[in-house]
Amino acid sequence: MQSYTIGQAARLLGVGPDTARRWADAGRVVTHRDQVGRRLINGRDPAAFSVEVGQGAHAEDGERYTSARNAFPGVVTAVRLGDVSAQVDIQAGPHRLVALLTREAVEELGPEVGMRATARVKSTSVHIDHA
């Protein structure tokens, strides 16, 4: 079974190491020690915890309910308007998502740099890599 250090688990969960440590200290994530005394998290625990956090995030943030399952809450980092199309960049934890939309849609939505936004992704082809 794969185990992760607090720092590695934090990166996987899209939070800082201090947040992951607080979650471990509070018992929200179970840790064990390796032979040199580092706290490790079992590989299944970050997966289950991220699902739990993801399900709770929508209710807490007051977001609309939707059938789109691949939601990435984050912050708008760039808005570029062209004559017909536009690009909106969102940083969601360690993930940068780029949305290409019509200029009209962006003007209607009104995203601005620094604004909270959720990128919702639908794809007919998803590729998964692992280390």
Q: What is the pLDDT along the chain (131 residues), one digit of tens a residue?
A: 688 888 888 887 777 888 888 888 988 888 899 999 999 988 777 767 766 766 655 444 455 556 667 788 889 999 999 999 999 999 988 888 999 999 999 999 999 999 888 888 877 666 677 65
**pLDDT given at position 60:** 45
**pLDDT given at position 93:** 82
Global pTM reads 0.51
Q: Judging by beta carbons within 10 Å of its beta carbon (0-12, 13-18, 19+), is residue 23 exposed, middle or buried?
A: buried
